[in-house]
Amino acid sequence: MYQVARPLAVVALVTAVVGAPLTASAQPDSTSARNITTMVRRMSLEDKVGQLFVTYLNGQSPDEVNPANRTNFGVDTPAQVVAKFHPGGVIYFNNSTRDNIDTPQQVATLSNGLQRAAMSSGLHIPLAISTDQEMGIVTRIGAPATQFPGNMALGAGRSTADAEKAATITANELRAMGITQDFAPDADVNSNPANPVIGVRSYSSDPALASDMVAAQVRGYQQRYLAKGAVSATAKHFPGHGDTSEDSHTSLPVVDRTVEQWRKLDAPPFRAAIAAGIDSIMTAHIQTPRIDPSGEPATLSAPVVTGLLRNELHYDGVVITDSLEMEGVRQLHSDARIPVLALKAGVDQLLMPVNLQVAVNGVLDAVRSGELSERRIDQSVLRILRMKLLRGMLTSPLVDVGAIPRTVGSPANLATAQRITDRTTTVVRNDAKVLPLAKKPASALVTGWGETTTRTLAARLTARGTTTTALPTGSAPTEAQIVAAEQAAAGAEVVVLLTNSLSTQSAQQALLTRLRATGKPVVAVAVQNPYDVGVDNPTWLATYSYGAGAMESLAKVVYGETGPKGKLPVEVPGPTRYPLGHGVTW
């Protein structure tokens, strides 16, 4: 990893913590652990509490004056937030409010600036810089960074080698941009088809398949001790968010599992992550009344975090909360109490409190009053520093911005991503033997969900010599849009209908019915959750992703350039049912 001159205080800190320089393949030994313990004992209470928090920031540059920073933190710039609060970590977003991400070079420059702010103030300890780069539908950094199709697509591909390679490439590119902790992989088993927040973020409804994929991706993200391209992986959302019918961002879902059911259905991927050496595990804001009848969300539940994760699964790594802005954790307690209760439950890192000053003061007050012991704070700080040491965050916090083009979105990485994606497309039904197309049709209509997605696929078909019309109709097509699609279908040899949540959207189902009535062959494609294929149609495919790479793979299968290799990673309920592992080949 490229390094620039570091302040003497940082050099002294690294020497104190790790002793002699560590090689890329070295695992920190007991002497290093003792040095970290000594460092924690020398820290002030305020310094220790700062290490517990991972905060959001507003802006794309370390010195960008953003009014939201003044409102949220009482200072103007991201670098000033770090200098004021000395947090243990920060998290990047690409939304309109936080807006931290533009280009890979910009992200790397932001990372370097924030690290310099951390190393020139407070304890001079480098940050853990994090983001949610699960790939698929939860992707913070888009192109030109290499894009993979997401977890359920990897589950359809059934290749742990592909899963590990995808994570390795993602980790290398994140680390090149200065990001050291990825909140991935999602270890939830999507056992509820109506789940509104997990779905294709899960690898499978099968605990064994999900476990294999989770372990493979942990290996890929973390690679080896102090690997220059490694990041700390984070398995989420413990104890398992796969059987919910509500979204914890906006409500407090209930998972009514017994402990025995949890051990069988939800625990296996987390066990696999721990066996693979996972650095951190994220909690879920869900109620588990048959495990903890108190009504507390799992994030604040000692029976869940300490009882199940620490004691039963014997996990001694970092436990991090899901965002403390989410309604699932804010319904029962104040923003000052939530961090205290999370720490009492057994959590280490506190992610994105609504008001960082209020949260910090809440923890400090709890220690000073005796509700929390300083020894308890020490345990968490020790785990956090150990994670930073294992992944080289302390020794290599800065990156070479000029090296970005050689790593992020390199031709080799892009080609690998496309090959992996090509092995995930699933043909679920081919009753009419429409596929593969015996000859390229002269004309085609691509319609249905997703303006960008329909146009992307239409361009892929056009590039293969078919005159193609793109006619997006959205998630709830109107009668006028359905009529327009019928009319367009009349002039096409084949119709490709893209669906997203068709099984719950009557207007999309009406569009499918009316297009079939035209007499033209309708190739229906579920471009997100595969549960759409339970609605009757003679020809069904599932891509699990609506990204450009998935659309290229779809075009290859439709035209017979490649055979379909994906198998359903979930069971699909009726009216037309399909079992786990189903897939048509030719």
| Residue 400 Cα distances to 118, 136, 407, 418, 424, angstroms | 18, 27, 11, 27, 35
- Give the integer Cα–Cα distance in Å for 265 and 207: 6
> How do beta strands 181-182 and 234-238 pair?
unpaired
Distance of CA 109 to the CA centre of its chain: 23
Catalytic residue among 47, 99, 249, 333: 249
- Give the integer Cα–Cα distance in Å for 147 and 139: 8
Beta strands in 93-209 (DSSP E): 128-131, 133-135, 138-139, 181-182
Residue located via tokens 């039963």: 312
Catalytic residue among 132, 322, 348, 422: 322
**249 given a catalytic annotation:** yes
3-state secondary structure labels for all residues of 325-371: CCHHHHCCCCCCHHHHHHHHHCCCEEECCCCHHHHHHHHHHHHHHCC
> Residue 347: which residues within 8 A CB-CB, separation 6 or more?
283, 299, 305, 319, 320, 321, 380
Q: Please say whether the beta carbons of 181 and 390 come within 8 A.
A: no
Other CB atoms within 10 A of residue 207 CB:
21
The upper half-sphere exposure of residue 147, i.e. CA atoms within 13 Å in the direction of its Cβ, equals 18
**124 given a catalytic annotation:** no
Q: Please say whether the beta carbons of 252 and 204 come within 8 A.
A: no
Of the candidates 278, 284, 86, the residue with the CA atom closest to the CA atom of residue 182: 278
| H-helix or E-strand spanning residue 156 | helix 151-157
Tell me which amino acid residue 452 is: T
**Which residues are designated catalytic?**
249, 322
